[in-house]
């Protein structure tokens, strides 16, 4: 089986979308021969993935060029490099075209014109993602993006042969937004590559960990609420004065910088080059996210490292429950869960860490994702034969 993967975002460990594309490439390469069209892949990542042929795109920063891509519905600095590359592709050699993100109907139309089945992987419901951006910051640019990408998604959903969503919640939302959908919509959650997590019984440092894009509205709002409502009270308790809160991520906004500096035992790490050591040494992971779209990759990372997780219901969308997960939606629930985690015996704490790791291996590992893709391709081929 031959598969063409098309992405206008680079595979990367630095963003949720980039991690999702790495998942796709690893999974697809276990199902067949994969060619890739997209931004250049970091050499360390490329060496891990079995890609047959890569067609790397060049980025053009000039806005006039990017705006001209509106004719094709592709607002990206990669647009014209992509179009040049596609002109040289023989689509008929592929059994499937796998497209990242549900906002490029032109790519679906081109694939179908050449008689190739298209699978679109929806990293979010784009209508909701861009609407959240506009609600968080009501600029003209965000308003136009919200309207534009909503239209692009509607066309993509209508034209694609099949869709792959991250959660059942997203599938239900797609059905509610875009009526009379008869095509297959599959659920394949966020899955990440495994790393060496060492001995889960090793002594952990006394800090709770929060990670993410610290400029992004739902992340920043949730973290700011946690600092002001939860950590301000928790850190004032004498019996917990030796515990710290480490917040690590990209581009922290001014409110987070100010609140972090004003509170005791808060360490803010802006744009850290490496996150592994932070996860390896953390005592527990905190996800105080109350809004947003899609599935939170940070939860899968915390599970992989075998950490107890203190999370809102919203951040847990798409994830199964476990003894290692403490559901927290109020100030009191967070504080009580933090105290409960700290009061665990060493044996109980180790049991919780092992439970987290098992949830990852069973549900959110690359092997799990590959098995799901194999089922999808098998079903699509059967549908072809029946048709």
Q: Are residues 177 and 303 located together in one domain of the fold?
A: no
Q: Are residues 185 and 217 located together in one domain of the fold?
A: no
Q: Are residues 335 and 380 located together in one domain of the fold?
A: no
CA dist., res. 35 & res. 40, Å (int): 13
Q: What is the CATH number of the domain that holds 219?
A: 3.40.50.2000
- CB neighbour burial string for 292-304, b if at least 16 within 10 angstroms, e if fewer: bbbbbbbbbbbbb
Q: Are residues 232 and 374 located together in one domain of the fold?
A: no
Q: Are residues 177 and 255 located together in one domain of the fold?
A: no
Neighbouring residues of 190: CB distance < 8 A, sequence distance ≥ 6 = 16, 19, 20, 23, 166, 295, 296, 297, 299, 300, 318, 364
Q: Does residue 198 belong to any structural domain of this protein?
A: no
Neighbouring residues of 148: CB distance < 8 A, sequence distance ≥ 6 = 75
Q: Does residue 332 belong to any structural domain of this protein?
A: yes
Q: Does residue 88 belong to any structural domain of this protein?
A: yes
Q: What residues in the chain have per-residue pLDDT under 70?
A: 65-66, 203, 382-387
Considering its fold, how many domains does the chain have in total?
Answer: 2
Q: By residue range, what is the domain housing residue 85?
A: 2-192+366-386
pLDDT for 384 equals: 63
Q: Does residue 201 belong to any structural domain of this protein?
A: no
Q: Are residues 150 and 274 located together in one domain of the fold?
A: no
For residues 212 and 247, is the Cβ–Cβ distance under 8 A?
Answer: no
Q: Are residues 347 and 225 located together in one domain of the fold?
A: yes
Q: Does residue 199 belong to any structural domain of this protein?
A: no
Q: Are residues 213 and 329 located together in one domain of the fold?
A: yes
Q: Are residues 220 and 298 located together in one domain of the fold?
A: yes
Residues paired with residue 56 on neighbouring β-strands, in sequence order: 38
Q: Are residues 243 and 335 located together in one domain of the fold?
A: yes
pLDDT for 86 equals: 96
CA dist., res. 196 & res. 11, Å (int): 20
pLDDT for 386 equals: 45
Q: Are residues 181 and 236 located together in one domain of the fold?
A: no
Q: Does residue 164 belong to any structural domain of this protein?
A: yes
Report the candidate in 346, 306, 299 with the shortest Cα–Cα distance to residue 327: 299
Q: Are residues 169 and 231 located together in one domain of the fold?
A: no
Q: Does residue 127 belong to any structural domain of this protein?
A: yes
- Its sign, for the CA torsion 16, 157, 92, 30, is positive
Q: Does residue 200 belong to any structural domain of this protein?
A: no
CA dist., res. 185 & res. 162, Å (int): 6
Quick: pLDDT tens for 63-108: 776 677 788 888 888 998 999 999 999 999 999 999 999 999 999 9
């Amino acid at each position: 089986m031959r598969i063409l993967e098309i992405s206008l975002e680079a595979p990367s460990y630095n963003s949720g979308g980039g991690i999702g594309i790495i998942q796709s490439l690893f999974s697809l390469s276990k199902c067949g021969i994969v060619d890739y069209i997209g931004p250049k892949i970091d050499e360390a990542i490329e060496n891990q993935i079995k890609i047959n042929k890569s067609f790397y795109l060049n980025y053009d920063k000039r806005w006039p060029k990017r705006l001209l891509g509106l004719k094709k519905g592709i607002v990206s600095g990669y647009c014209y490099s992509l179009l040049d590359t596609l002109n040289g592709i023989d689509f008929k050699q592929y059994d499937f075209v796998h497209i990242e993100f549900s906002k490029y109907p032109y790519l679906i139309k081109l694939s179908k014109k050449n008689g190739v089945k298209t699978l679109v992987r929806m990293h979010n419901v784009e209508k909701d993602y861009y609407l959240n951006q506009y609600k968080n910051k009501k600029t003209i640019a965000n308003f136009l993006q919200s309207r534009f990408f909503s239209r692009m998604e509607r066309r993509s959903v209508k034209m694609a042969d099949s869709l792959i969503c991250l959660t059942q919640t997203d599938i239900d939302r797609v059905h509610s937004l875009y009526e009379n959908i008869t095509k297959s919509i599959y659920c394949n959650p966020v899955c990440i590559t495994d790393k060496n997590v060492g001995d889960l019984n090793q002594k952990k440092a006394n800090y709770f960990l929060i990670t993410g894009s610290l400029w992004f509205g739902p992340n920043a709002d949730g973290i700011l609420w946690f600092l002001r409502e939860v950590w301000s009270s928790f850190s004032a308790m004498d019996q917990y004065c030796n515990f710290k809160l480490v917040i690590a991520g990209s581009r922290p906004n001014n409110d987070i910088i100010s609140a972090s500096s004003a509170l005791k035992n808060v360490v803010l790490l802006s744009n850290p080059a490496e996150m592994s050591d932070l996860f390896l040494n953390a005592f527990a992971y905190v996800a105080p996210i109350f809004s947003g779209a899609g599935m939170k990759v940070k939860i899968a990372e915390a599970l992989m490292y075998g950490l107890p997780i203190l999370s809102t219901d919203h951040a847990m969308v798409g994830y199964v429950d476990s003894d290692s997960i403490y559901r927290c939606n109020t100030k009191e629930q967070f504080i009580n869960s933090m105290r409960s985690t700290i009061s665990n015996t060493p044996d109980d704490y180790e049991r919780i860490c092992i439970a987290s790791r098992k949830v990852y291996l069973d549900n959110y590992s690359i092997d799990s994702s590959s098995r799901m893709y194999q089922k999808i391709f098998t079903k699509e081929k059967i549908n072809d034969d029946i048709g």
